[in-house]
Structure 1
Amino acid sequence: MTDALTFPPLLYGEPATGGAFEHACLRATTGCDAGLVAYAKGTTTLEAALVFAPEVPLGKAMAMLPACGIGFQNALGVLAPPEVAVHLDWEGGIRVNGASCGQLRVLASSTDPEAVPDWLVVGFRLPLLPEDDRPGDRPDRTSLFAEGCADVDPTALLEAWARHTLHWITRWDAEGTRPLHGEWRGLAHGMGEETTRNGLTGTFLGVDEDFGMLLRDSETTHLIPLTTLLEDTP
């Protein structure tokens, strides 16, 4: 089947059978080449997932989660009206004009931070339209088209996400995490505010070199590794 979408060099598209994240994970376990972008374009949602073949330990490779998040923010930032604000939660949440609007997910072949995984998959799911008939019941949640982005073409957004994400991956490979840190800090939601993660409550101070959350309570600063966000095998 010929792919109708256009992806940058090193990436190639494949329509998903079912969810894009699950499709990409299944293809990764069967040994597909890195660079696969699985996608599912529905009338109410947009899903995509990218397969990586890391050459560094998992703890370092987890930087692909914020890289994909930054790529999404940059892509939507170009295509959406200028008044639309897009931010990122540490745990992969996407926020549009302050409200939750989609989620990034991550899974790898291993959960050992010191081991080089055979594969790693990062994907996102974005609601295009409200998921029920009473969106006002959940003012903390929104959809893309409800935030003034009805003219954003999902296909263009998907292609732009692939391009911008590849740009940040290339910079990470050449320059390390510093450029990612600089860009991510300007997009991070909730930094400096109280939050609860892994049963710990404190102030979200920022992240360490590998994007682990630094959480300060009344006694000490806790480090919550990004690997705690890894999902179980679907």
Structure 2
Amino acid sequence: MTKPAFPPLFSGQDAKGDDPFVLACAAAEAGCDAGLVIYDLGSSNLRAAIVFAPDVPLADAVAMLPVSGVGFQNALGALAPPEVGVHLGWDGGLYINGGRAGQLKMAASDVDPDAVPDWLVVALNLSMWPDQDDTGLTPDQTALYAEGCADLAPDQMLEAWVRHTLVGINNWADGGMAKLHTEWAGLAHGLDGEITVAGQTGGYVGLDEKLGLLLKINQETVLIPLTATLTRPV
């Protein structure tokens, strides 16, 4: 397998089987340059993480989660057959033809929404091959190769994800949240009826201007900001 090629200002590091999310957060804490992409091109899973150095408060910087999700959709849309549909969960879930196929997650150096974080990491975990041969046993789960994308190599998918995410970052930096809001909302998955996110359950009302989730809980409209999706490696 060839070494992935990334756009200028991005650099790659093979995780060699370790968790790229863990390695990326540790590298960011140690002061690595922004644009580091740590990856593990496994036979059944593609795992990768990108290190960012935001220059805006965390409340705005967490837009990197939906930006990376739209980047994933655009990347797969460019590489996969046209009948392959991609949708995005608010908490980073990745869905292919209706089945969950992966997850984006995000960590930052600080949890204060008003502070500019020293670093922010977005990680991708994508199932390339089903966990079991009989996919009928888990109809809500799928994998890339089970959805007509068997010719797509992990390094191709990784390169495309990074490239399209970079385009999304530039669009977001130039045009703000409005375009991202429209793009993401058109790809949203699982926002019908009652949903549970960040430990809270309620009826979906809508999204605020920063893609925060509005839920109706006990007759009150509650805002769950994107910062609620932040996590750290364990």
Q: TM-score range by the shorter chain?
A: over 0.9
Q: Which residue number in structure 2 is paired with residue 108 of structure 1?
A: 108
**Matching residue's letter, 2:112:** D
1:85-119 Cα shifts (integer Å, max 9, x gaps): 00000000000000110000100111111111110
User: Matches of residues 37-52 of structure 1 in structure 2 within 5 Å?
Assistant: 37-52=37-52
The equivalent residue for 1:147 is 147
Instruction: Tell me the number of residue pairs that the alignment of Structure 1 and Structure 2 aligns.
Output: 232
197-206 or 30-39: bigger deviation? 197-206
- Report the counterpart of residue 93 of structure 1 in structure 2: 93
Aligned to 2:63: 63
Whether contact under 8 Å (1:13, 1:36) holds in the other structure is yes
Cα deviation per residue 1:44-91 (whole Å; 9 max; x = unaligned)?
A: 110111101111111110000000011011001111111010000000
* 2:132 equivalent in structure 1: 132
Tell me which amino acid in the other structure corresponds to 2:224.
I
Contact 1:192 1:205 in 2 (8 A): no
Tell me the equivalent position of 1:5: 4
Gaps of 5+ in 1: none
In the alignment, the residues of structure 1 paired with residue 24 and residue 66 of structure 2 have an alpha-carbon distance, to the nearest angstrom, of 18
Q: Map of 1:65-214 to 2, 5 A cutoff?
A: 65-214=65-214
CA contact (8 A) 1:49 1:124 kept: yes
Look up the SS of the partner of 2:211 in the other structure: coil
Counterpart secondary structure, 1:228: helix
Q: CA offsets, 1:172-192, max 9 Å, x none?
A: 111111111111011111234
Aligned to 2:232: 232
2:15 corresponds in structure 1 to: 16
Higher mean C-alpha deviation, range 151-160 or range 61-70: 151-160
Tell me the alpha carbon deviations over residues 2-45 of structure 1, each in whole angstroms, 9 at most, x when there is no partner: x8221112212111140111111111111000011111101111
- Separation in structure 1 between the aligned mates of residue 33 and residue 108 of structure 2, nearest angstrom: 15
Residue identity in the other structure for 1:14: Q
Distance 2:198 2:163 in 1: 33
3-state SS of paired residue (1:54): coil
TM-fit CA distance, 1:134: 4.3
TM-score (normalised: structure 2): 0.94
User: Separation in 2 of the partners of 1:173 and 1:198?
Assistant: 27
Provide TM-score, normalisation by structure 1.
Answer: 0.94
Q: How many angstroms apart in 2 are the aligned matches of 1:87 and 1:228?
A: 20
* Identical-residue share of aligned pairs (%): 53
* Offset of residue 196 of structure 1: 1.6
Partner deviation per Cα, 1:156-184 (whole Å, 9 max, x = no partner): 11111111000010111111111111110
Q: Secondary structure at the match of 1:105?
A: strand
* Maintained 8 Å contact 2:19/2:40: yes
Q: Is the 8 A contact 1:190 1:204 kept in 2?
A: no
Identify unmatched segments of 5+ residues in structure 2. Answer: none
Mapped partners of 1:233, 1:86: distance in 2: 26
Quick check: 1:215–1:223 contact (8 Å CA) kept in 2?
A: yes
Cα RMSD after superposing both structures: 1.5
